[in-house]
Structure 1
Amino acid sequence: MADSYSRHSQNKSTKYQKDANMMKSKSRRSKYSDQKYHKVESKTPPLPTRSTSTLEDLIKKRESLKQELKKIVKHSDTSTNKDSKKRRHSKEDYAYEIISSKKSYKENETKPNTNSKRKSYHESSPEVEHTQADSEDEETIIQRRRQMRKQLLEKLNVSQDNKNSGNSEPDTEETCSEAQTIKSITGNEVTHNISKQVTDMFAEKDDFESNATSNNVTHNDNESNLNLTDNWDDTDGYYVIRIGDVINNRYTIKSILGQGVFANVVRAQDNEDGNDYVAIKIIRNNDLMFRTSLKEIAILKEIRQADPDNKYHCVQYFGHFTHKGHLCLLLESLHMDLRSVIKKYGKHHGINLKALISYSRQLLLALRLLKKLGIIHADIKPDNILVNEKKNILKLCDFGSATKCDDNEPTPYLVSRFYRAPEIILGVPYKHGVDVWSAACTIFEMATGKIMFTGSSNNKMLKCFMDLKGKFSSRLIKKGKFKDQHFNYNNNFLLHKKDEFTGREKVVEMYNIPITRDILFELKKSYKNAFVNEEKKLIQLKELLDRMTMLDTSQRISVTDCLKHPFILEDVEKDTIKKQ
């Protein structure tokens, strides 16, 4: 029994010893493995167990990973942008840094005891410079470079002064070497005068100097500077008028009278001829306008020769000159145009009957002179008729559209539309009758304060004519070059109008056009409280207007016969008896 117990205890102790030996060997292995493989660490995450993960959990995890990835990418982009901003330098900056480093190096050689603060930036190593640029913000860097450039430019100015005085050859060579350095880096040509050529792009003020404007430019009134044409003209070629400017070293602009298709018109004071006032027509800077104005000058000269005593109510022509590339016509100055007179004294009811007769007579005298010279004015309207300050003299102006009687071609847009004769719209050959028609429209407007024909197009104008005068004759229609635009093969009128419902343009054939207007009624409406003798003059005026507005130009009254008409010849008789 004792032997068995001793054997059992002996086996147990040997077993414990074996276990201890195994533990020691394992500890030695772990130490050895730790020493050998301590740098290798497994970062692979453990595989998910099937029991704990579902499809929904996996989808949620994937979404969260995507969000985290986006945040990481965004953070990296912003950090790279900040770094790139800090490291962004232009070629000119690099050039200045090289130049300034050279100058500091030379200063250090000549002055060994200089302050270390002055050379700390340029003598620092690239690593230190890079860390400084990264640590400081962009504003500080820009400020420091401004100061460096300022010092450099001051030194370059000093060297340039020394160069001009001829006392410093080394400074000149140094400046040339700096210029070559900048040229090699920026690719620009740099002259010896670097202080004037090089600009500071970080400067707060734009002190840039242009080589093209280095010399002072002086303006001469007699010569136009081609480089400064835009200063005198607007985009449409009109001369830009400034009150107080002196034209041709003689005429001071006082006011603007108006602007037309061809020119501006100003009122100016003649500084040489007794300070009298003149009108200057400044033609647009355009080849076509220039050629047209030469024709106008020729016509004005012909009128002046035919009327040396200034009796026939055409505006006087004094001469012409060129100013800033613009042809300028020197004309007689009058007070205001007839349209302004009608608005001021005869709006909605017409001007005084005596003034109407006087103005009509003077207008017809001007037309008779033009007919005698074989000239068609081709643009008679209240805007092109002027009156003096006393309002007793009328004169015809603006001969820009005037032509010779044998030098005209059919065109549907000659004369302003409200004063355009039917032969112009139809394309029938025309002569002085177009001026008679326009004069009739002008006289009616003076008498009533209203425009006689108000069509919005040539087609509507023909309809207005027929409302007053009836249908055109077939013989007249056949002569028209543009008849197919307004009449069909049966000579029936084709009215162009918009449909009330669709808004589209449609053509309506009109077989019969009744007369719907009465000129006498319209004239009497303007003179409601007329005397008996005034009513007689209104009847005469109605008869004269009927003859002046005949649709067929061959049947229209001539200018000479108009002047012989009772309405023009006879003045208003004194009468105190009002119409009952």
Structure 2
Amino acid sequence: MRDGPAPGASAPTQTDMDLDLAPSPPRVEDLIAARRAKRQAILAKYSNGTSSTSTPVASQSSQAPLPALLIAEQSITRANSVAMSVDGTPAPEKYSQGERRASMSNSPPPLSAQDTAGDIGADLDKLDAADNLAFELAKGDEQDGMQAPDQETISKLEGGHDQISAADYDPSRDRREDEHKRLLGEVPHKPKVEDVMEIEEIEDVEEEDVDDMFAVAMGEPSKKTKKVKKTVSKPAPVLITTTALLDTAADAEGYYSVILGEQIDGGRYQVVSSLGKGMFANVVRGLVLQSPPEAEGILGAEVGKEVAIKIVRSQESMYRAGLKEAQILQKIRQADPDDKKHLVRLERTFEHRGHLCLVFESMSMNLRDVVKRFGKDVGLNISAVRTYAHQLFLALSLLKKLNIMHADIKPDNILVNERKNLLKLCDLGSASDASENDITPYLVSRFYRAPEIILGVPYDPALDIWSVGCTLYELYTGKILFPGRSNNQMLLLMMELKGRFNTKMIKKAKFQDAYFDEMGGFESVERDKVTGADVIRKIHLAKPTRDLRARLMPPTSVKMNDNEAKLLTSFIDLLDKCLALDPSRRITPREALSHPFIRG
């Protein structure tokens, strides 16, 4: 059954009904314009009207305007000081001194200074108070009960396992290493027989092991024998292939050598600053100096605005990938002409000295920076997470409709606007059509990599749902959910949280032999604490050993009201459905948009 249109909305088309299950936040430009109009109306009201309590006195006509003006100025300044930006710093004043004087220059002398200041201050305070209800990121004192357990509590619950701070993690290094492996065509494999040393260990059997269908009875029922293979890991050779194109200003790896102040694309843009470097390109902030011919008359191409320019590395493979990304972004723009689905907008493309350049709308910061700034190690406000979740699933609903897989969703690839209340999913450099199902164990950044990718099971857009689940957990807790140092350890962490993989999924896995033995036991590669060498330990998991609810619910000593408890419980349920090991059982974007956590 389809959801109806929002109250007051016009009847949606068939396409809108598929996607617009809930309204998106209004554009920040519209909010600013509306706020400015309200403020001007308030100022005009008191500049053109006469207070009912004031009495004209000729002798005061030359002195009354000054105190009235000063007091009104103070009221406006006080009202403006209440309007704080999201990061807690004072927002810039909405009106300059000259604008305020101009707006009140027609005020009649006999106005009562006290009454006018009080009335105008009250009205402006109401306006600012309404604005400040907009968006909160940090967890406040009133939400202490909503915070997840601290690190010590989680470690006790989970046998000493520590979590990694989401704010301090830099995924670029891991991504580059995995991408090199991907380009080299490396696949997971077990150590050679001659490199393996087998060790037998005896340990007590816990009661829960008796019901393990994979457990093999050997000797006395109170003991079990475990074979451990020990091998020293050998680092894979790193191969960097750079095929630079002609007329390029690139470094040894093909990245464009950024020159601040440089004018590019025939003087249309000026490079203002460098925004960072990824696997496929580096990104700079540019200033529009002149509108390109094809953008004449388009509001988004006005001179003086900032844009983000992605400069693709000058390698043939990267150049082709950049063209593919541009084609996908154009397809998305055509399917979302009104910019409601929270996917970054590609404005145009051009070439500069052998580099393909993609011009995007400029945003404020990515979600990892948001967590670092507003929720380091504790996470963000549950209401903010709810808003971000809604917008992310709107983006995924469009991608699914277009049969596109993003294949690299993580906090770093999600941008927010200045007010931090609107996000855009960006960086579609790894995106592809769902029919392009090339089995590779290194697709998606490792901490956000779905199990089907690691196992070598044919994948579909459900892989993005897994990544969103990992991302939402990070946003709320400030910690990384699956901080595995390898694909092998990632699988172990997943099974500890969600239980063992079903036999059907393992049988479909191309790389099953790299992780499981013939009895279905998982071969965990762990680092010996004494020697530092890698040790292979066989593990049979009958049921999860970690609990998602225990990670997210506050300690029992903290009391939550019913609404808080319901909201957090529904959030845990949504994450649980996003993180189903079997992709066919994972929640879809449409189902997620109808989930109680999103719908309320």
- Give the TM-score taking structure 1 as reference length: 0.58
Closer, same or farther in 2 for the Cα pair 1:293/1:526, shift >3 Å?
farther
1:504 paired residue number: 533
Percentage of identical aligned residues: 50
Residue among 260, 267, 275 paired with 2:285 = 267
- Give the 3-state SS of the residue equivalent to 1:395 in structure 2: strand
Pairing 1:368–2:409 present: no
C-alpha displacement of 1:529: 7.3
Deviation track 1:295-328 (CA, whole Å, cap 9, x = no partner) reads 1011001001000110000001111000011000
C-alpha displacement of 1:367: 0.4
2:504 paired residue number: 475
Unaligned runs of 5+ in 1: 1-224, 571-580
Closer, same or farther in 2 for the Cα pair 1:498/1:513, shift >3 Å?
farther
| Alpha-carbon distance in structure 2 between the residues aligned to 1:512 and 1:283 | 45
- Kept after mapping to 2: 8 A contact 1:348/1:449: yes
Pairing 1:557–2:557 present: no
Pairing 1:457–2:474 present: no
- Give the 3-state SS of the residue equivalent to 2:536 in structure 1: strand
Unaligned runs of 5+ in 2: 1-243, 291-301
| Correspondence list, 1:425-464, <5 A | 425-464=454-493
One-letter identity of the residue aligned with 2:321: T
One-letter identity of the residue aligned with 1:439: V
- Kept after mapping to 1: 8 A contact 2:409/2:464: yes
| Alpha-carbon distance in structure 1 between the residues aligned to 2:359 and 2:317 | 20
Pairing 1:316–2:342 present: no
- Kept after mapping to 2: 8 A contact 1:520/1:538: no
Q: Which has the higher contact order (CA 8 A, sep 6+)?
A: 2
One-letter identity of the residue aligned with 2:401: K
| Correspondence list, 1:8-27, <5 A | none
- Give the 3-state SS of the residue equivalent to 2:459 in structure 1: coil
- Give the 3-state SS of the residue equivalent to 1:264 in structure 2: strand
C-alpha displacement of 1:501: 3.5
| Correspondence list, 1:517-536, <5 A | 517-525=546-554, 531-536=561-566
| Alpha-carbon distance in structure 2 between the residues aligned to 1:513 and 1:245 | 61
| Alpha-carbon distance in structure 2 between the residues aligned to 1:305 and 1:569 | 28
- Kept after mapping to 1: 8 A contact 2:286/2:309: yes
C-alpha displacement of 1:245: 1.0
Deviation track 1:63-108 (CA, whole Å, cap 9, x = no partner) reads xxxxxxxxxxxxxxxxxxxxxxxxxxxxxxxxxxxxxxxxxxxxxx
Pairing 1:234–2:251 present: yes
Deviation track 1:147-170 (CA, whole Å, cap 9, x = no partner) reads xxxxxxxxxxxxxxxxxxxxxxxx
C-alpha displacement of 1:368: 0.3
- Kept after mapping to 1: 8 A contact 2:308/2:360: yes
Deviation track 1:150-208 (CA, whole Å, cap 9, x = no partner) reads xxxxxxxxxxxxxxxxxxxxxxxxxxxxxxxxxxxxxxxxxxxxxxxxxxxxxxxxxxx
Pairing 1:357–2:386 present: yes
The root-mean-square deviation of aligned C-alpha atoms, in Å, is: 1.8
2:186 paired residue number: none
2:305 paired residue number: 276
| Alpha-carbon distance in structure 2 between the residues aligned to 1:568 and 1:226 | 48
C-alpha displacement of 1:502: 3.4
- Give the TM-score taking structure 2 as reference length: 0.56
- Give the 3-state SS of the residue equivalent to 1:348 in structure 2: coil
1:307 paired residue number: 336
Deviation track 1:241-299 (CA, whole Å, cap 9, x = no partner) reads 12211111111111211110000111111012321111100000100000011110110
- Give the 3-state SS of the residue equivalent to 1:244 in structure 2: coil
| Alpha-carbon distance in structure 2 between the residues aligned to 1:271 and 1:526 | 56
C-alpha displacement of 1:554: 1.2
1:244 paired residue number: 261
One-letter identity of the residue aligned with 1:288: S
C-alpha displacement of 1:504: 2.5
- Kept after mapping to 2: 8 A contact 1:467/1:513: no
2:319 paired residue number: 290
One-letter identity of the residue aligned with 1:261: M
| Alpha-carbon distance in structure 2 between the residues aligned to 1:227 and 1:549 | 46
| Alpha-carbon distance in structure 2 between the residues aligned to 1:296 and 1:535 | 42
1:14 paired residue number: none
- Give the 3-state SS of the residue equivalent to 2:340 in structure 1: coil
| Correspondence list, 1:74-473, <5 A | 229=248, 232-248=249-265, 249-272=267-290, 273-473=302-502
Structure number with bigger Rg: 1
| Alpha-carbon distance in structure 1 between the residues aligned to 2:372 and 2:560 | 21
| Alpha-carbon distance in structure 2 between the residues aligned to 1:534 and 1:243 | 49
